Structure 1
Amino acid sequence: MTQVATPPAAGGTGDGEDRPVPPGHVRLTIDGITVDAPKGELVIRAAERIGIAIPRFCDHPLLDPVGACRQCLVEVEMGGRPMPKPQASCTQTVGDGMVVRTQVTSPVAEKAQRSNLEFLLLNHPLDCPICDKGGECPLQNQTLANGSATSRMHEAKRVFTKPVPVSTEILLDRERCVLCQRCTRFSDQIAGDRFIDLLERGSSQQIGINSDEPFQSYFSGNTIQICPVGALTSTAYRFRSRPFDLVSTGTVCEHCASGCALRTDHRTGVVMRRLAAPDPEVNEEWNCDKGRFGFGYLHEGDRLARPLVRDADGQLQPASWTDAMTAAAQGLARARDDGGVGVLTGGRLTVTDAYAYAKFARVALRTNDVDFRARRHSAEEASFLADRVAGVTPSTGGPTYADLEAAPAVLLVALEPEDESPILFLRLRKAARRGVPVFTVGAVESRGSRKLSATLLPALPGAEADLLADLTADARPVVAGAAAADRNRAGQLLRASGAVVLVGERAAETPGLLTAVGRLADATGARLAWVPRRAGERGALEAGALPGLLPGGRPVTDPAARAHVEQAWGVELPARPGRDTAAMIASVLARAERDERALGLVGPAPSPDLPRPAESPAADDRPAGHGAVGLVERVVETVAGSVSGAVHHLRDLVTGEHEDAAVAPGPQAPAEPGLAGLLLGGVELDDLPDPAAALAAVAATGFVVSLEIRASAVTALADVVLPVAAVTQKSGAFLDWEGRHRPFDAALPTPGVLDDGRVLDTLGVEMDVDLYTQTPVAARADMARAVPPAPAGGTSPGTAPGPADARRGPAGTAPRDGQGFVLVSWRTALDGGRLLDGEPHLAGTARPDVVRLSPRAAELLGVGDGAPVQVHGPSGGTVTLPLQVTAMVDEAVWLPGRIRATPLVALLGAGSGDRVRVRPAAGGEGL
């Protein structure tokens, strides 16, 4: 920020000495203005409130005061006695009767600041014309405003080799550094990653890489933004532009559900950089590196510029919008009448775009087969979302970021916030530093958990519901041991007013867990929030992009809710809940298998009385979309023309509980004749739990329409491809995990580039229906008419339907011979994906892929830290990675959800909760 002396505001907060001092406040005078300030407030903050800007470099309102730069010196009197020397206003707290004179009224303070500025410039290089900070540099601005016109320095300036790569994304120019320690304090206090530190002493002191800590921070880019002198710069932005050449637009991050406010800077139609925008209620002044640097995909060479239509020879050819819309409308109409069309939207759409898909499915395609969950999911999750999440916002009493900082306790279930919602992690860390106890249910004490000082409540995948049941019980059995003591303490604190339970989307992988979470919230009175990983999932839920939900989160089976939407839309809606993502894929594959069988291309279907394959003994207990066995072989088989293997696997996935995606009891969607078409909106196949089956389904579908930003595996198989706007090219809004509305403007509005809502609205007109989603404003108005005024949710709290019993298991014991380890996995923040394409510098800061085992398990295997370890999946796939010994359950082994950008399920044929074998790569007995 620019720090230039400002004359005092007229009157300040009032000059009267006769008014009473508010409780908890003191009265002081700053430059002749009487100020009432809270006890403990810093002088520099009190001055800011009355419009007096005291120059500073080290001070930051979100960092602990340190007084390192000495630029904010002021004169201070207490009790009529002046302090012998000027004081640093960034460390001096206010006192009753204090008199402060800043550079505005005190020649002593002005001289002290001018002299200190001259001292800071002694060794500072004169490279403002090429410095990335030039034009927005506090040191430059302060020097121009108050510095000396000449220098008394005649000796040679100190010179360092530059730049020093702190990481692949951060470059350090030590000559520019004024040792304000903003970067070191941020890394230690805010991020908890001491990746950068002060080195040496005296005149040799400098900023450098911390030799004791690896550079594994997701938040390092913030040090660039808060550096006041350009000592830290971005590899991606270095020497690319000047601040005064940029156009800035307020936007919102599209990478996760944290809802971070961003400032997007662009020039000549190209995004040059993104910065964290201040928002005290959400991200304060921070963002993660993924949101800051992960925008290269916007300008990749595979961006789609024109519609594509498959010709008679089976080749995709460029087409006009008119021809493409006609072909898409005719093909979807035929598929709708032949067997139906499924709509897969993914979880990255804005609220209004998701609403357009939900409405298009029901009005134009006459189906409830629409689902935003391009991941593992279950019918229990759909019920939980309708019952516990839909309609909950900060204005209706839902927990907020601020509530976390004041909570008596926070419980994390199936959630790793540092990887899955980084700014949520920073707010939790802030709460933990203030003394809020954090508990996490799981099998691994992660790096993020340690930085939160979180207490691990150990439970293997599948046993979490048992643990939550213990916390729910009013009278828990007294059992000796630290784990029991931690459970008792967690159970007691969760009953205190204001406690918060945060549950992640991975809870859908464990049958009964979401039901147990709801019961825990009911029993303890804790406030409950759901934290998805993708930015658009919360909004898609409210928009009705689920097979059993209407806009506003009301069940399709609710006649009153359905009647309200029918009146708003002017159509009759299907009353039967639709298929979820897994069921739609299975339906397509089943139809393809029947067609092949009718042509004599495959053998008869297996008898339903035959036993399931040996690798799937617990298929009924698995959530929809669980990873398949023999993934590589199956994708080759299915795409080549035979889909029987994939459909048999998908039949297992959608039997039992997962055959019905209904939110409330009702008639089931028919399995026959099978879907004849698919409409996909930005679905990344690798995000799906079984990418091979998904690819086979797209290849086998009779008619496919894809709305996409860039060319992909889906667009290569589609019959019609319609290009849509990227997030920087459109306006809209996301809902963050709180349910908070996060609107943003188009940073780069591009003529001829349409958002999903506009494309679907035009496509609807071709199919003789009006969606009224031609603009985000129109879509919001239409959505408001469709949302019933009644409270969201079709069942009373605590009655979300689910399995009668969760898959039960031990909290964790040592692995036994032949039994193997239980696999634990989640996706890390920088593990690849299409939204991280085009930014190789960011990819270089990703955490290394490792295998994690407990000290006891490592001892049993005879391996130590860094030793290569092999993990063998049930399909015969093997992963070899270095070992990282971690505090965790002895029977568990942890692997990242993606390894070198490849989904783990594609490598092992196994997902979280499955049994795998582990052995030393150098040979020896495994477990």
Structure 2
Amino acid sequence: MTITTPGVSPVTVTSGITLSVDGVDITVPKGTLVIRAAEQLGVEIPRFCDHPLLAPVAACRMCLVEIEGQPKPQPACAVTVAEGMKVRTQVTSELAEQAQQGVMEFLLINHPLDCPVCDKGGECPLQNQALSHGRAESRFTGVKRTFPKPINVSAQILLDRERCVSCARCTRFADEIAGDPFIDLLERGAKQQVGTSSDQPFDSYFSGNTVQICPVGALTSAKYRFRSRPFDLISTPTVCEHCASGCGLRTDVRRSTVLRRLAWDEPAVNEEWNCDKGRFAFGYAAEGRLTHPMVRDESGELVVASWPEAMSIAAAGLRRAGSRTAVLTGGRLTLEDAYSYSKFARSVLGTDDVDFRSRPSSAEEIEFLAALVAGKPVGPTYAELESAPVVVLAGLDAEDESPMVFLRLRKGARLTGVKVFTVAPFASAGVAKVNGRVLTAVPGAEAAVLDSLADEVSGARDENRLEAARLLREPGAVLLVGERLAQSPGALSAAARVAKATGAALGWVPRRAGERGALDAGAIAGLLPGGRPITSDAARREAAAVWGVDPASLPGSPGRDLGAVVAAVNADTKAIAAAAKPSDVVRSVQALLIGGVEANDLADPAAFVAALDAVPFLVSLEQRHSEVTARADVVLPVAAVAEKAGTFLDWEGRPREFAQVFREALTLSDSRVLAMLAAELDASFGRGDIASVRGELASFGSWHGDRAQAPGHAPPEAPSVGSDEVVLATWRQLLDRGLLQEGDPFLGATARAGVARISAARATLLAVATGEAVTISTATGSITLPALVTTMPDDVVWLPANSDGSNPRVTLGAGHGDIVRISGGVV
């Protein structure tokens, strides 16, 4: 049962509606439902269909109360309060009590008595309320209805129809919250049941929420079904590690195994919802795990080693490389771990070649982040998205890349009329669900569209641009930019100009959970923790004071990003190969220290792998076997999220701390491993435990000194496109072939199939229709997918970035904004 404001003391407001509930007066705001007013007095009225985040429907009739002046009991979940209203609940009214008992008896007539095997048993509102508000004995002696069971509503969600009490929570959630009206109540009377269209499965990124809010065991998940009883589980509040939304979760463990995750009630962040990726994608921690340190022996093979041996070899290699070591990290890192990498690079190795962006990026992005994001206070916030007059998205598909941002935008669009615009080549499914409008931009040309918003009249011939430009100037307007803008030259500069010209709040929404924290921790070239520029003497003095080192020992100029490091390693290799005396060539990168980087996520996977092969010394801190560990000289296993405590910063900049789920886990966090490595190097570093790292981060405080200037890059001229060429648009879908989704075949089966989106004119030119094959190719390779005709520019094609049969970076060597060839059929 959902109780929104539990308590026993009357709650009063200075102005509003005064009524009495069971003889106790209470004043509540106008429009308050009777059931909410009773909650504020601590009176628990039974209910099944009621949910504070869903519109009332009074479907189950369990919450009947007696209201003076009404001829019969009324549903407390659907009646709003009125001045002087006198309400009597089951506590004081025999009529209300009998009405509730009658409803309960009616609901149980056809409900199966299978509580011992039902997944909901032990945490079931129907069980609880049958005991507290039902009759002691059943008078029904007939035959209960039955249905074949279970029905696959989707690959992940299973339905036991005879358990359903027709509360409509699931259908209302799908329709109101997620915007995926793929399930509905079918038939009438005793035959009424939840069902789907015969040709349309329950295709939703948020389907798992229907299982959690189902007040009976009608909906269950394939992953958890018949796995455990709730009283056998140990529950821990945690935070999702899959994206930057920062969703609060509850992780349930039995016998040292995670069996399920549920959305936690976090009103300021994810309310009571989460996406299926965050709910079901936790099996990866058991897939291909590294369990022991490994070192490369004399024959070149990786062999298991002891921790002291591995640490000794790693320290020796890093000592030789010194400041010619580059530190590259990925999006899995917590704030504390990213800070430890940042500190280790500067205070132990003396290098500023640091980059957390294990994805396509740019130097312009570093300037943007340093000037406008790093170390800034929390904001814009989720709440501000709901109340904004307009939210403009640029380089961001919220449903795929930040699901909670999408749900808040949908809520705002539905309830308060928030206008949503997206700078994109077409309106995705998520944009349509928030009633969004497209500010059409060919990939690579987003800067020109954004610049037109900075000048209120420059887009006057485009009504959507003109309205977006006008609304951005209203108080509370928000501009959200995604990491994809880093692939569009000049776009982040244009976004900064728009924010400055309009006064709109500017938010950066990365795709990975650890990126905002890594930025604030200084795990990027040119920045120390808190957004301090490394070129500032004052900033280096503050960092040195916290770290207990000499300020002169810290690097004083910005280092290289990941792309520049990879290019330098490969350039060193070419120089050595061309040199008459290779030993005379001094490498600019002697070693790599890598944590959480996957080659296929990068702009040029082949170049990265070549650099891994070529660098003289490579240390990998990793959870699982990967292309990096396969080439490393030393591999050090580190803890997964459930095996440590930590903090993620969500896209708002809000700290999201989480506890250690497996308290008996022997695996070490990245911070602890780096501390051990620093000790082996005789460096002052600290213990690396969670408390001391958080203490150091707190010691930095806010930075009030000089900051970098916002970038001012001009957009390049649009490239010319041949008759058989198009510009590639691409981004990752929420459910794809990501490594953190491994280990759950049910979730994988719900991923959206890859398609190639093209315009109607392009489809005509290629002589193909929706569903027929088109081939996109470069000199590197080709991808063939079914076409999906979409309203979009004729010279653009969209491909999913990491789905089955479609990984343009790996297969085509091309990314967002690159030119590719297109043809009809299979080549």
Tell me if both proteins adopt one fold, taking TM over 0.5 as the criterion: yes
Q: State the partner residue of 2:446.
A: 464
Task: Establish whether residue 171 from structure 1 lines up as the match of residue 158 from structure 2.
Answer: yes
Q: Is the 8 A contact 1:3 1:54 kept in 2?
A: no
Deviation track 1:884-912 (CA, whole Å, cap 9, x = no partner) reads 11222222111101131763221222211
Q: C-alpha separation between the residues in 1 aligned to 2:517 and 2:50?
A: 38
User: 786, 800, 804: which is aligned to 2:710?
Assistant: 800
Per the alignment, residue 330 of structure 1 pairs with 316
1:559: which partner in 2?
537
Aligned to 1:283: 270
Closer/same/farther in 2, CA of residues 793 and 415 from structure 1, 3 Å limit: farther
Seen in structure 2, the aligned counterparts of structure 1 residues 896 and 176 have a Cα distance that, compared at 3 Å, is: same
Amino acid at match of 1:54: I
Q: Secondary structure at the match of 1:495?
A: coil
Matching of residues 533-552 of structure 1 within 5 Å: 533-552=511-530
Q: 1:204 to 1:742 in 2, by over 3 A?
A: same
Deviations 1:764-798 (A, max 9, x none): 011111222521210121223345x4337613xxx
Deviation at 1:563, TM superposition (A): 2.1
Q: Structure 1 residue 912 and structure 2 residue 820: aligned?
A: no
* Equivalent position of 2:298 in the other structure: 312
Contact persistence 2:3–2:39 (CA under 8 A): no
Q: Deviation digits for residues 391-442 of structure 1, max 9, x if unmatched?
A: 2223xxx210000111111000000010101111101110111210001001
Secondary structure of the residue aligned to 1:274 is: strand
Select 1:703's aligned residue among 614, 617, 620. Answer: 617
The alpha carbon displacement at 1:819 in A equals: 5.2
Match of 2:563, SS state, is helix
CA contact (8 A) 1:27 1:35 kept: yes
Does the 8 A contact of 1:373 with 1:581 survive in 2?
A: yes
| Cα 1:751–1:163 shift into 2, 3 Å | closer
Aligned CA distance change for structure 1 residues 478 and 714 (closer, same or farther; 3 Å)? closer
Does the C-alpha gap of structure 1 residues 143 and 366 become closer, same or farther in structure 2, counting only changes over 3 Å?
same
Shift of 1:287: 0.3
Q: Which stretch has the larger CA shift, 127-136 or 310-319?
A: 310-319
Query: Distance between the aligned counterparts of 2:403 and 2:459, measured in 1?
Result: 36
Unmatched runs of 5 consecutive residues or more in structure 1? 15-20, 602-670
CA contact (8 A) 2:459 2:465 kept: no
1:791 aligns with 2:704: yes
CA distance in 2, matches of 1:187, 1:131: 23
Which 10-residue stretch deviates more, 757-766 or 913-922?
Answer: 913-922
Q: Which residue of 2 aligns with 1:76?
A: 67
1:530-679 to 2 correspondence within 5 Å? 530-569=508-547, 570-571=549-550, 572-598=553-579, 673-679=587-593
What does residue 665 of structure 1 align with? none
Aligned to 2:10: 12
From 284, 295, 299, give the equivalent of 1:297.
284
Report the alpha carbon displacement of residue 202 of structure 1 after superposing the two structures with TM: 2.6
User: In structure 1, which of residues 863, 881, 890 is the aligned counterpart of residue 768 of structure 2?
Assistant: 863
Please tell me whether residue 722 in structure 1 is matched to residue 632 in structure 2.
Answer: no
Q: Is the 8 A contact 1:358 1:370 kept in 2?
A: yes
* AA of the residue aligned to 1:877: G
Q: Distance in 1 between matches of 2:688 and 2:88?
A: 58
Give the counterpart letter for 1:563 in structure 2. Answer: R
Deviations 1:439-495 (A, max 9, x none): 10010110000001001000101221111111111443642xxxx011111100000
Corresponding position of 2:386? 405
Name the structure 2 match of 1:837.
742
Q: Distance in 1 between matches of 2:390 and 2:3?
A: 40
Shift of 1:3: 8.4
1:47 to 38, 47, 60: 38
The 3 A distance-change label for structure 1 pair 793 and 739 is farther
Q: Write the letter of the residue equivalent to 2:375.
A: G
Identity %: 56
The answer on 1:504 being equivalent to 2:482 is yes
Return the match for 1:885 from 786, 789, 796: 789
Residue number in structure 1 paired with 2:239: 252
- The equivalent position to 1:685 in structure 2, one of 599, 617, 624, is 599
Contact 1:380 1:800 in 2 (8 A): no
Provide the alpha-carbon RMSD of the alignment: 1.9
For 2:520 and 2:579, locate their aligned partners in 1 and report how far apart those are by CA, in whole Å: 42
The aligned counterpart of 2:681 is 767
Contact 1:440 1:455 in 2 (8 A): yes
Contact 2:754 2:806 in 1 (8 A): no
What is the CA–CA distance in structure 1 between the aligned matches of 2:484 and 2:273, rounded to whole Å? 26
**Does residue 1:348 correspond to 2:348, yes or no?**
no
Question: Residue 349 of structure 2 aligns to a residue in which SS?
Answer: coil
1:566 positional shift: 2.2
Between the aligned partners of 2:277 and 2:76, the Cα distance in structure 1 is 35
Q: CA deviation at 1:150?
A: 2.0
Correspondent of 2:751 among 830, 842, 846: 846
1:838: Cα distance to partner? 0.5
Task: Give the number of equivalent residue pairs.
Answer: 820
Distance, in Å, in 2 between the alignment partners of 1:793 and 1:216 is 49
Name the stretch that deviates more: 83-92 or 861-870.
861-870
- 1:13/1:33 contact within 8 Å kept: no
Q: Is the Cα–Cα contact under 8 Å of residues 833 and 901 in structure 1 kept in the other structure?
A: no
Q: Which amino acid aligns with 1:445?
A: A
After TM superposition, the structure 1 stretch with the greater mean CA deviation from structure 2, 544-553 or 138-147, is 138-147
Equivalent-residue separation in structure 2 for 1:575 and 1:802 (angstroms): 24
For the residue of structure 2 that corresponds to 1:883, the secondary structure is strand
Match of 2:437 in 1: 455
Question: 564-573 or 60-69, which moves further after superposition?
Answer: 564-573
Q: Give, in whole Å, the separation in 2 of the partners of 1:290 and 1:156.
A: 41
Q: Out of 661, 670, 678, which is 1:747 matched to?
A: 661
Q: Structure 1 residues 793 and 826, CA, compared in 2 at 3 Å: closer, same or farther?
A: farther
Query: How far 1:750 moved relative to its partner?
Result: 3.3
Deviations 1:290-329 (A, max 9, x none): 00000001122x2111111111221222111111111111
Change (3 A) 1:904 1:404: same
Match of 2:413 among 424, 429, 432: 432
Match of 1:416 in 2: 397
Q: Does 1:489 align with 2:398?
A: no
Contact 1:551-1:786 within 8 A present in 2 as well? yes
Q: Distance in 1 between matches of 2:290 and 2:775?
A: 41
Q: Is the 8 A contact 1:388 1:793 kept in 2?
A: no
TM-score by length of 1: 0.86
Cα 1:99/1:714, change in 2 over 3 Å: same
Is contact 1:2-1:142 (8 Å) kept? no
TM-score using structure 2 length: 0.96
CA distance in 2 between partners of 1:699 and 1:314 (Å): 12
Give the Cα separation in 1 of the matches to 2:320 and 2:693: 27
Q: 1:672 to 1:431 in 2, by over 3 A?
A: farther
- Secondary structure of the 2:493 match is helix
Cα drift, residue 266 of structure 1? 0.2
Give the CA deviation at 1:543.
0.4
Shift of 1:740: 0.2
* Mapped pair 1:359 → 2:343: yes
Contact 2:486–2:492 (CA under 8 A) maintained in structure 1: yes
Contact 2:46-2:133 at 8 Å conserved across structures: no
Measured in 1, the distance between the counterparts of 2:298 and 2:560 equals 32
Residue 224 of structure 1: how far off its partner (Å): 0.4
